Amino acid sequence: MVRIAGSWVGVSLAFKAVADHYGWTHIVVVSDDKISTCWYGAKPFEATFGANRNYSFAWLRLGPQPSDDELDDVLQQIRALTRGVC
C-alpha cells in the first residue's frame, strides 16, 4: 500500500516507474468520491494504468464517512483485485 497525493500527471508516471521497478501489475486507487479534489488526483492514474494491458487497474471510491461495513467491503475488493482472491 502506498499513499500518494497530487493531481499532476507526473505523480502517476513516477508511481508507474516504482511499480515497474518492483514488478507490481495490480494497481488499485482508493479515493474520496469528491469530484472537486480526489478526482483530479486519481484521474491521471486511470489514464496511466487503465488502458495499459500490462496492468490490472481499479479505481474504488468512498464517501466522506464510510461505515465499517463499507470499509470492510473496500478492503475485500482490494484483496481480490490485487491478489486474485474471489
Three-state DSSP class for residue 65: coil
Could you write out the DSSP letters of every residue in 23-61? T--EEEEEEES-TTTHHHHHHHHIIIIIT-TT-EEEEEE
CB-based contact 74:60 (threshold 8 Å): yes
Of 29, 38, 30, 33, which Cα lies nearest the Cα of 64? 33
Read off the pTM: 0.74
The pLDDT averaged over each successive group of 10 residues in the chain (86 residues) is 70 92 91 70 86 89 87 90 67
List the chain domain ranges. Answer: 9-83
CATH superfamily of this structure's domain 9-83: Response regulator (3.40.50.2300)
pLDDT at 31: 81
